[in-house]
Structure 1
Amino acid sequence: MSLITPNTRARGGGGAQKGGVRRYEHNKIYAHPLPLLFVEPPPSRIGSVLGLLGLSLTRIENPHCEGVFDPTTRSVWVTRPDDALILWRRGFFGKGDLSRSEPSWLARQTNIRASGGKQLTSEEVTARRRAERRQFKLDRAAAIAAVAEEAEEIFATEGRVIAPALSGPAIPSAATWRPSQSAAAAEAEAAEDEGRDGPLEDEAPLVDVEHLQLTLQEAFFLLWNLDCLTVLDPQQTHAMSLKEIWLTFQSAELPPTIPAPPNPFDTLQFDNPFLINYAVYHHYRSLGWVVKSGIKFCVDYLLYKRGPVFTHAELALVVCPVYEDPADQQSSSIALQNATPFTWSWLSTINRVNSQVQKTLILVYVTIPARSRVPLDVLRSPACLGHYSVREVIVRRFIPARMRD
């Protein structure tokens, strides 16, 4: 049983007022944590009587979304915009293939055409901030070089030794630096030109070419636990059964073999990467966390309390498979990541990266059942997940100035 559970209480007394209108809108848009909706009927006498008997008239609304399995990217593509919007807003499942997270490509392009490029999207704001940060570093380096050159001239002419200053009025800082007026004027002039031109009359209408991309773990959680996703075969375009999906997702994570085995059951293995990663994903999703990919911070998963639009992730997970029987690892054809003991330099590197972004590193150990104890036939159904166990080890960087108490 995990001791890590999301804390839903707000920090501080004025937490609800900090977000303002944006926080209020987010609370309305992302009010449902799962795609399933539980609709309660209005209060009535019949409902009160049924409540005394332990019964309820609550109705479950299932969106029944649809996706297509893509073996090349090992993911499930949700191409219908309505389904993609539901899965993202009700649980933050998936990622837009043309966006950072939410599938908003069509909205961004429509906004650019309507406003002439004056209103910036979140991606454009991020690009501008990165460009300004890059320019700030260049200006600071140029100012430091100028101060050093001035010190060398004083030494050459007057013979005085002056240590070049790394701070002061001549050296820009992050608090005082502003973009140059010429760059700002050029950017404003370009924006005016774009707004003046406006959209062309013969401009082709926008077509939404973006899709929501679900990982195999997300897709299987939606179709097996919530029954709100139908996965279609990419070639025959028919709905795949649970057994077909279970075997296909396991085969997708294995390296290709030539010739391919005639029987898909011959490829079943306890150390399949899909099984190990899904055990971790299912474990934390069941505890109420929003689980997203952590490749940006060199980890496997990130845990959010409510979702990416509310707060940053507080926990970073590294999945560490552990064989119950060491002989299984030696005879296995799969080289699992982090299955062998890693070096302290690797652990220190990962921990330092996540400490800098204020994330707590957690090593998640998944115990792989031994073949001598559990037969391979249990891998034919998801019931085999009951033989896997998940343990957590929290790693924190020791900082003497902060941890003296």
Structure 2
Amino acid sequence: MNRGRRSGPNKAAGRRNDNNRIYAHPLPLLFTSPEPIGTSSFSSLLGSLGLGGSRLEVLNPHCEGVFDPATRSVWVTNAKDSRILWTRGFFGKGNLSRSEPSWLARQVNARKDRAAGKSMTSEEVTAKRRAERKQFKVDRARAIAQAAAEAEAAFREGRIVSLEETKANIPSAATWKPSSSAITSASVSTSGLNDEDEAPLEDVEHLQLTLPEAFFLCWALDCLTVLDPKSMEPMTLQDIWIAFQSAHLPLPLGVGSVQGQETLRPDNPFLINYVFHHHYRSLGWVVKNGIKFCVDYLLYKRGPVFHHAEFAFVLMPVYEDEEDKTSSPFSLPNVEPFTWQWLSTVNRVNSQVQKTLILAYVTIPARKRMSKEVLGSPACFEHYSIREIALRRFIPARMRD
């Protein structure tokens, strides 16, 4: 009996240990020392930091991705590079998955007929739960209709049916158990394959990086090479700078076009989002998309596999010069004053999932004080600023203590 009780915590502890081992590195770059650091040797510690005799070595994975202007993203098609970028910092998402590129693992699980729930991916677990909830609603509706018919028949016969007897025939969420049909339907819907299909599996999924993520890996870490989609040749940093901003123009220019320098503006959506992404990434946070919770970004302390996001951010661009707002070709969200209904809705959604809503005001510098040379390079980032305002919904029933 005691052994059975300990199986749950031991299993959770084993999963935690695996995550700590797999996601041990917060960035794609690895810092190693040629000499082991002694626990009591201060000189060896200084040496590992490059202050002593030995130097700190940096292992760069040199990943590659292809720029896609249509989706405003960079595609990493190499499975090894995708694995490195995901496990070391949780960069990007699988184009066929919710977050982690797990399409191939789902197909392998389906082919091995693991419908019992062993080694299931997050997408398979979600599909299984949805199928079970759907089956519960159908069974409950059928039971309610049957109870109503029996009560009406008893009324015609002059019999009295007690309330306890009626409730006993209607399943509840605490006592209802799913049948095997829900699990089978979930596994079939997520796999898309049958047991007779024995063709070799080919991984058709790629890791999709947002433009701020890709530029952070290129410029800040220098561990990603972006290829031109037409020539498949490596793009220079200047080409990437122009192409990423041109992708947000109403009429995008060609990749690497020099004419794009004439259309560079400080209110380009790429610059605003990158300022936010770089600011919090440099502070050690994992920045992910927050559209699921009606916000722009979610911030994780370590990553999605460890804890839920604690903070939900709404990006609020603020023009330093109102004339730039009038002449801007971009339709930036949250520039105009928002309504109280919108703010209350977003705050209520995030408070229900125990997230703190934060409004991040990104001040856009005036265009008249930004020269073409400054706008033509990442040197313009020092002219931006970010202010945060945290909102907390008052819930009287919860906050009395």
- Which category of TM-score, normalised to the shorter sequence, fits these structures? 0.7 to 0.9
1:285 aligns with 2:281: yes
Q: Which has the higher contact order (CA 8 A, sep 6+)?
A: 1
1:87 aligns with 2:80: no
| Gap change, CA 1:257 and 1:247, over 3 Å in 2 | closer
Give, in angstroms, the shift of residue 289 of structure 1. Answer: 0.8
CA distance in 2, matches of 1:122, 1:138: 25
SS in 1 for 2:373: helix
- 1:54 pairs, out of 51, 55, 76, with 51
Unaligned runs of 5+ in 1: 1-15
Which stretch of the first structure deviates more once superposed, 106-115 or 170-179?
A: 106-115
1:28 aligns with 2:21: yes
1:340 aligns with 2:341: no
CA distance in 1, matches of 2:253, 2:233: 27
| Match in the other structure for 1:216 | 211
Give, in angstroms, the shift of residue 143 of structure 1. Answer: 3.8
SS in 2 for 1:278: helix
Summarize deviations over 1:17-69 as a string: whole Å, max 9, x none. 68221111111110000000011223489993893892342211000001110
Q: Which amino acid aligns with 2:233?
A: H
Count residues in correspondence.
381
CA distance in 1, matches of 2:153, 2:323: 71
Q: Which amino acid aligns with 1:234?
A: P
- Whether the 8 Å CA contact 2:26–2:88 is kept in 1: the answer is yes
| Match in the other structure for 1:353 | 349
Which stretch of the first structure deviates more once superposed, 222-231 or 370-379?
A: 370-379
SS in 1 for 2:125: helix
- Whether the 8 Å CA contact 1:77–1:214 is kept in 2: the answer is yes
| Match in the other structure for 1:13 | none
| Match in the other structure for 2:298 | 302
- Whether the 8 Å CA contact 2:318–2:335 is kept in 1: the answer is yes
Give, in angstroms, the shift of residue 231 of structure 1. Answer: 0.3
CA distance in 2, matches of 1:258, 1:224: 22
| Match in the other structure for 2:4 | none
CA distance in 2, matches of 1:199, 1:132: 26
- What is the TM-score when the length of structure 1 is the normalising length? 0.84
| Gap change, CA 1:158 and 1:49, over 3 Å in 2 | closer
SS in 1 for 2:284: coil
SS in 2 for 1:309: coil
| Gap change, CA 1:259 and 1:98, over 3 Å in 2 | closer
SS in 2 for 1:308: coil
| Gap change, CA 1:378 and 1:216, over 3 Å in 2 | same
Summarize deviations over 1:347-379 as a string: whole Å, max 9, x none. 111112222222111111101111233334311
Aligned pairs for 1:185-200 (under 5 A) are: 187=184
| Gap change, CA 1:179 and 1:112, over 3 Å in 2 | closer
Give, in angstroms, the shift of residue 235 of structure 1. Answer: 0.4
| Match in the other structure for 1:179 | 178
| Gap change, CA 1:198 and 1:156, over 3 Å in 2 | closer
- Whether the 8 Å CA contact 1:243–1:381 is kept in 2: the answer is yes
Give, in angstroms, the shift of residue 394 of structure 1. Answer: 1.0
Summarize deviations over 1:322-366 as a string: whole Å, max 9, x none. 111222212212111111011111111111222222211111110
Unaligned runs of 5+ in 2: 1-8
CA distance in 1, matches of 2:394, 2:149: 41
- What is the TM-score when the length of structure 2 is the normalising length? 0.84
- Whether the 8 Å CA contact 1:148–1:164 is kept in 2: the answer is no
CA distance in 2, matches of 1:198, 1:270: 55
CA distance in 1, matches of 2:200, 2:260: 45
- Whether the 8 Å CA contact 2:312–2:356 is kept in 1: the answer is yes
CA distance in 1, matches of 2:374, 2:224: 24
- 1:329 pairs, out of 322, 325, 328, with 325
CA distance in 2, matches of 1:363, 1:44: 43
| Match in the other structure for 1:132 | 132
CA distance in 1, matches of 2:241, 2:10: 46
Aligned pairs for 1:6-405 (under 5 A) are: 19-43=12-36, 48=43, 51=46, 54-55=51-52, 56-115=54-113, 119=118, 120-147=120-147, 168-180=167-179, 183=181, 187=184, 203-256=198-251, 263-404=259-400
